[in-house]
Structure formats: structure tokens, C-alpha cells
Amino acid sequence: MSLAFGAKIPPQEYTSQIRIRVRLTEAIPRVRVRGFDLRIHEMAKVAARTDGLSEWELTCFHGMIRAISTHSVKWLDLHEPVTVESPAGFLNFQNRPFRQILHISSVGSQCEVVNEVELEKYLDGLVNAEFSAKWNAKAMAAQVIAARTYAVHRMGQARLNPGSRFDIDATVRDQVYDGSMREDFRASRAVDRTRGLVLMTQFQEKGEKKWIPLKAFYHSTCGGATEFPERVWGNPYPGFKKVVRCPFCAVSPSFRWSAEISNSQMAEVVQRGVAQDGVQRNWPKAALEFLRHGTLASLFVSRWGTEGRAAQVTVVWHWGQSEIQLPIPAPRFRGWFGASVLRSTFFQISPISQGHWRFDGRGSGHGVGLCQWGAKNMGERGYSAASILHYYYPGSTIRKLW
């Protein structure tokens, strides 16, 4: 993977109007856009102007986009990328309000939709999607700064590639964003009060030390200690040299959890996971044959990671008189079950009666960076936003970029 972490946005472009490109959908068959006085642009030229309220349906096909007005018989055949904007500032896409501009491009015969929106406005919408504006002001300020920092990091990375069409995903892959529907005054106030504040970390590139925006990961509940990014995704990131013990998130509803999974469900999930991801590099050659014809005999945590998190789970498979042991990295194993079943990798496995397995776990999410429930509790106890951030991102510095 590329180790180019440097922010590729020239410092003079760091203004409060800086815009982020948020990919709303990867590939959908048709796009419905509604709004007042819509302007449709084809490769930066105006292709259509409509007065008053109008609605368009767009379909995509290998570089061409057909826009059909749903109120008249009018249609346009356009070259991608097609841009739709409204001077009123809001557009309705899939029955949700979005600010500013939508870019539509084709992905084969499907459409990709990207919302270009001022970063500060994006954060307004994000607060209630990723966390809650009802939380105390200090914790919220810390979370908004973390979310802004994460976004600025992604923008810098995306812009290393001049052909990139978006900076960030609107899903759990990055930060969950569903437009302006959930903006409220508390969210806007938290964003406003922290305007331009970004966490920076020192990074050494070609012998030169520089400050760059941190990839400020955050998660719901760490369960007692945070985790290194390389243990979750395989890659290290600048600014995550230490994990921290967190005595603050014991108040979280998912501080402790358990899940019971039957042997047959377990076998099915593992088989499906392997079919999707392929065999692990360190598995013996006969692994697939065992998975196809044998039965799941046992499983256990075979390697422990930071502060008692599971790092690797081994499944034991029997076929006839033979046995095979298949180690799986715990984050991948968790991914196969889904985050709602195995809420974290902070678990222990024990057999219970009649071919059932029990997972006793702590925390929710990947565990890297800021622990949201810990931050909430710290804020309630009077810690400032800056001390919350320095606690979960040790060694980072808060800078005002605009």
C-alpha cells in the first residue's frame, strides 16, 4: 500500500468553503433528483435549466447519461459527468435533502452519485448520523473535530490520485452520511464552535518531518482499551503508536455483550466467508476439501492481541479420521458474522451444551482511536474537548486550518 500520507491539499485551499466529495451510492440503476430551478450541467456546460419545481430521472450507460423530466416528455442524452445543482441550495435525492451539488457518473450500466458539499455543512449532517447531538457539548466537540480530521485526511489521500471522483464514502466504510435531513441546531452549534479545528500528527517522509492530518478513526465502545490500526486492517497509520486504557466506557450499553451461535451456523458462516474471501495464505492445501466435505469440530482463540483482544481464531475441521486447523485473523472472522453479531474482537469463546458456542465480549466497533462512549463520559465528568482528544489520540496536536 502507498505510504503517501502527506496532505495533498495546498494550505491556501484550507478555507471554510473547502468542499468534500461524498460518494452517496456506488452503483444504482436510476437516480431521481427533485428540486427548485434545477440546473443540469454536462461536462461543465449548462444542458438544461428548469424553473420552479422539477424532477428528473437519470439512467447511466457506459459514459452516457439520459436525463428524463418526469413532468414533461423532455429528455436529454448527455456525456458524463453530469452535474445537478439548485440555486436554492438543496436537492432532493432518493427522498432525502442534500446540499449544493450532485455529480452523476456511470459505472457500467449503473450510476454513481457523489455529493459535493462544503465540509462544514457535511459535518452538520454527520453529527446525528454518526453520533448524537444530544450528547454533552464537550464530547460532541471532540467528536466533531475527530470527524472533520478524518474527512480532511481522506480528502488529502483521494487527491493524490487526480482521476478520483470522490473523497469519502457515505457508509460505515468511512463515515455514515445521509444528507441534511438530520441536521439540527445543536449539531450546527458544535460544528460552528470547532470550525476549522483538525488534529495533526507528526509524520516523517524521506527524512523530512511534517505535520499531517491524522486518520482519526473512532468507534462506539472500546471495552477497556483501544487497538492499533495495523491489528484491524493490517496497515499502520501515523499517529497511532500507543493504545490507551479506557476506564470511561463502562457506562456504554455494549460494554459487555454475548452471542450464542450453533455449530451448524458457525460452519455455514465460515464456509461462506471462505467462499467470499478465498483461503488464507497460511492454510494447508487441503483446507477447501475439508471445508467442503468435513465437519466443524471446534474453535478457539489462538492468538491474543492488545490488552486481551482476540487477534486470531482457529477453527478445527474433521474429515474422516483427519483433522485440520485453520487460523483466521479475528477482525476477518468478526466481519464474516457481521458487526451486529460479534460487536468487537474483544471476546472469549466457550462451548456450551448441544453444539452451541458462546461469545462473551466487551465493547463495540474496531477499537481504534476515539471511544465515543468513553468520550461521552469524559465530557460529563468535566474533561475538555482537547483533553478528550489528547487522551484517545496521544501525541496529536489540534490546529485551526481555517
Residues near Zn ion, by CB under 5 A = 222, 246, 249, 371, 374
Residue 350 CB, shortest distance to Zn ion, in Å, is: 24
* Least Å from the CB of residue 392 to Zn ion: 8
User: ∠257-145-170 over CA atoms, to 5°?
Assistant: 65
Helix, strand, coil percent content, the chain, rounded in steps of 5 = 25, 40, 35
The CB-of-243 to Zn ion minimum distance in angstroms stands at 11
Please identify, using beta-carbon distances, which residue of 56 and 248 lies nearer to Zn ion.
Answer: 248
203 vs 391, beta carbon nearer Zn ion: 391
Cβ-based nearer residue to Zn ion, 248 or 290: 248
Q: How far is CA 233 from CA 87, 138, 220, 294, 367, in A?
A: 42, 30, 17, 30, 12
Q: How far apart are CA 248 and CA 148, in angstroms?
A: 23
Q: Indicate the residue among 23 and 219 with the shorter CB distance to Zn ion.
A: 219
To Zn ion, the closest distance from the beta carbon of 143 in angstroms equals: 13
Nearer of residues 23 and 362 to Zn ion, judged by Cβ: 362
The nearest distance, CB 246 to Zn ion, in angstroms, is 3
The order of strands in the sheet holding 208-213 is 208-213, 197-205, 397-400
Collapsed DSSP state (helix, strand, coil) of residue 309: coil
User: Residue 47 or 249: which CB sits closer to Zn ion?
Assistant: 249
Nearest alpha carbon to residue 36 among 55, 53, 48, 57: 53
Segment holding 122, helix H or strand E: helix 119-130
Query: Beta 53-61 vs 64-69: how paired, if at all?
Result: antiparallel
CB of 225 to Zn ion, least distance (A): 8
User: What is the nearest approach in angstroms of Zn ion to the Cβ of residue 259?
Assistant: 20
Nearer to Zn ion, 213 or 374 (CB): 374
- Nearer of residues 213 and 367 to Zn ion, judged by Cβ: 367
Number of H helices, E strands in the chain: 9, 22
Q: Which of 389, 375, 400, 11 is nearest to 193 (CA)?
A: 400
Q: CB of 154 within 8 A of CB of 171?
A: no
Q: Beta strand 370-371 with 218-219: parallel, antiparallel or unpaired?
A: parallel
Rounded to the nearest 10 degrees, the angle between the axes of helix 385-392 and helix 372-380 is 140
CA–CA dist 161, 359 (Å, integer): 42
Shortest reach from residue 13's CB to Zn ion, in Å: 35
Judged by phi (left if over 0) then psi (alpha if -120 to 50, else beta), residue 144 lies in alpha
Closer residue to Zn ion (CB): 294 or 374: 374
How would you class 394 by CB atoms within 10 Å of its CB: exposed for 0-12, middle for 13-18, buried for 19 or more?
middle
Question: Closest by alpha carbon to 226, among 348, 329, 340, 373?
Answer: 373
Phi, psi of 248, deg, nearest 5: -100, -20
Provide the 3-class DSSP secondary structure of residue 327.
Answer: strand
Nearer residue to Zn ion within complex by CB, 40 or 249: 249
Considering the complex, what minimum distance in angstroms separates the CB of residue 252 from Zn ion?
7
**Residue 4 Cβ, how far from Zn ion at the closest point, in Å?**
31
Choice between 84 and 249, CB closer to Zn ion: 249
